[in-house]
């Protein structure tokens, strides 16, 4: 896993307050936020209840895929049975359509 993807994962899995600066250090936390803003925030929010083109990502760690109330999902993702953690998220971000055949291209 590249450092950049690792930082995106840390940012997304940590939720609205972000990853611990005691663990990652201020610079890497800031870099993760920048990467999230550049690559994900057009479609996703880290705040609860704020689904955009993609579902809100707050509370993602340990959550079953496809269950955010009011978000629009493909049936492929809704029926995937995935539970989000560093491993499943890494595989999904690396190749969404291989991890979840039938999820929209993006």
| Residue numbers at the binding site for ligand HEC (CB under 6 A) | 8, 12, 39-40, 42-44, 53-55, 57, 60, 65-66, 68, 73-74, 76-77, 84, 89, 93, 103-104, 106
Smallest gap from Cβ 32 to ligand HEC, in A, equals 11
Smallest gap from Cβ 86 to ligand HEC, in A, equals 11
| Angle at alpha carbon of residue 64, lines to 19 and 20, rounded to 5° | 5
Alpha-carbon span 77 to 102, nearest angstrom: 8
C-beta of 22 vs 105, nearer to ligand HEC: 105
Long-range contacts of 42-48 (CB under 8 A, 24+ apart): 43/106, 46/11, 46/12, 46/15, 46/16, 47/16, 48/16
C-beta of 30 vs 40, nearer to ligand HEC: 40
Alpha-carbon span 37 to 104, nearest angstrom: 21
Alpha-carbon span 6 to 65, nearest angstrom: 20
C-beta of 14 vs 68, nearer to ligand HEC: 68
Smallest gap from Cβ 16 to ligand HEC, in A, equals 14
C-beta of 23 vs 85, nearer to ligand HEC: 85
């Amino acid at each position: 896993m590249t450092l950049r993807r690792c930082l995106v994962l840390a940012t997304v899995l940590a939720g609205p307050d972000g990853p611990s600066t005691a663990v990652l250090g201020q610079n890497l936390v800031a870099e993760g936020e920048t990467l999230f803003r550049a690559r994900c925030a057009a479609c996703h929010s880290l705040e609860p209840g704020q689904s955009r083109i993609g579902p809100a990502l707050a509370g993602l760690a340990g959550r079953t895929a496809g269950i955010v109330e009011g978000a629009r999902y493909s049936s492929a993702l809704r029926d995937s049975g995935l539970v989000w953690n560093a491993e499943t998220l890494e595989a999904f971000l690396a190749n969404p359509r291989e991890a979840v055949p039938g999820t929209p291209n993006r």
